[in-house]
Amino acid sequence: MDRVRRPAAGGTVRGILGTGATMNNWLLAATAVGAISLYLMLPHGRRRMSQFGALLGVLALGGGFVELGLWLSHGPLAAAVAPAGIFFYVFAAIALASAVGVVCHPRPIYCALYFVLVTLSVAALLILLLAEFMAVVLIVIYAGAILVTYVFVIMLASPGGGIPAADYDRVSADPLLAVLVSFVFLGMILQRLFGGPMDGFMLARAPLASGHAAAAGSFAGLAALGANLYAHYALPLELAGILLTISLVGAVMISRKHEPVVRILGAADVPAE
């Protein structure tokens, strides 16, 4: 498999990174470096710092991935699992980097475009997880519908081209507090995932896909999804439809201009402005 492996230092690497506890510390260190880099990259109005932050972020991401791959191939789980292939790491890196772009870019329209990139790479990851239908649905709904709404609203409610980004976009609110809260949260989750007892729950069942693998290439997975949806979640599905309709009506009611009803009804008679 394609991942970083250094045969010369194999023994030492195994010694340093092999056990679960140290692995945990290394991953937490990568998380902390990522937190610092995100703090530096959040809009401050200072360009040099965000470049330095981006460098740190690349280091943290690469270090975290190398660490994860090494741990999975040499750690206590090495006998039971194989690390995900190169595709996982590539798409995860794209997803995380463009997520940082969404959060940090001072221009909202670029944030929306970065979010499209996140959606596309998440869809690729869903394909790796053998959920092809959900991947397509994600692209159609997120990149196709929701993001178009966002872009329209950004277009409607932005100062316009040529003008430098607004003040509130160039300076973020509470970068230190936000980064602290989020990354302590992330550190807690990673601690639980990688530092907890390695019971059967956290072990990957060897090739996860085997149940679906026979059905790959046909629509059997989609048929199973439909059967599950309508056998167990028929009422929630209907409620979701009703919710969508209500929110559509509500959105129209909220955002329309409050003009006299007569004028709206008689719009055909009034010449267009």
Partner 1 sequence: MNSLAQPILLEYLALGAALFAIGLVGFLARRNLILIFLSTELMFQGIIINLIAFSCYYQNTAGQSFVIFVLSIAAAEAALALGLVVLLFRRRRTLNVDAWSDLRG
Q: From CA 196, how far away is CA 230, in angstroms rounded? A: 37
Tell me which residues in 150-189 interact with partner 1 (CB under 8 A): 150, 153-154, 156-158, 166-169, 171-175, 177-179, 181-183, 185-186, 189
* Interaction between residue 237 and partner 1 (CB under 8 A): yes
* Interaction between residue 235 and partner 1 (CB under 8 A): no
Tell me which residues in 94-123 interact with partner 1 (CB under 8 A): 95-96, 99-100, 102-103, 108, 111-112, 115, 118-119, 122
Q: From CA 8, how far away is CA 172, in angstroms rounded? A: 46
Contact letters for partner 1, residues 59-98 (x by CB under 8 A): ---------x---x--------xxxxxxxx---x--xx--
Q: From CA 263, how far away is CA 21, in angstroms rounded? A: 70
Tell me which residues in 29-48 interact with partner 1 (CB under 8 A): 38, 42
Contact criterion met (CB below 8 Å) for 203 and 80: yes
CB of 234 to partner 1, least distance (A): 11
Query: Could you tell me if residue 257 is left (phi over 0), alpha (psi between -120 and 50 degrees) or otherwise beta?
Result: beta
Phi, psi of 106 (to 5 degrees): -75, -15
Q: Based on CB atoms, which residue is closest to partner 1, 168 or 266?
A: 168
Can you tell me which of 55, 58, 129, 264 binds partner 1, judged by CB under 8 A? 129
CB of 269 to partner 1, least distance (A): 25
Tell me which residues in 185-224 interact with partner 1 (CB under 8 A): 185-186, 189-190, 193-194, 202, 204-213, 221, 224
Question: Which region among 11-19, 46-54, 132-140, 262-270 touches partner 1 (by CB under 8 A)?
Answer: 132-140
The number of residues that bind partner 1 (CB under 8 A) is 103
What would the two tokens of residue 262 be? Answer: 């007569």
Q: Based on CB atoms, which residue is closest to partner 1, 26 or 83?
A: 83
- Residue 76 gets which letter from DSSP? T
CA 130 to chain centre: 18
Calculate the dihedral angle through the C-alpha atoms of 247, 228, 84, 89, rounding to the nearest 10 degrees. -10
Query: Alpha carbon of 53 to those of 18, 38, 49: distances in Å?
Result: 29, 6, 6
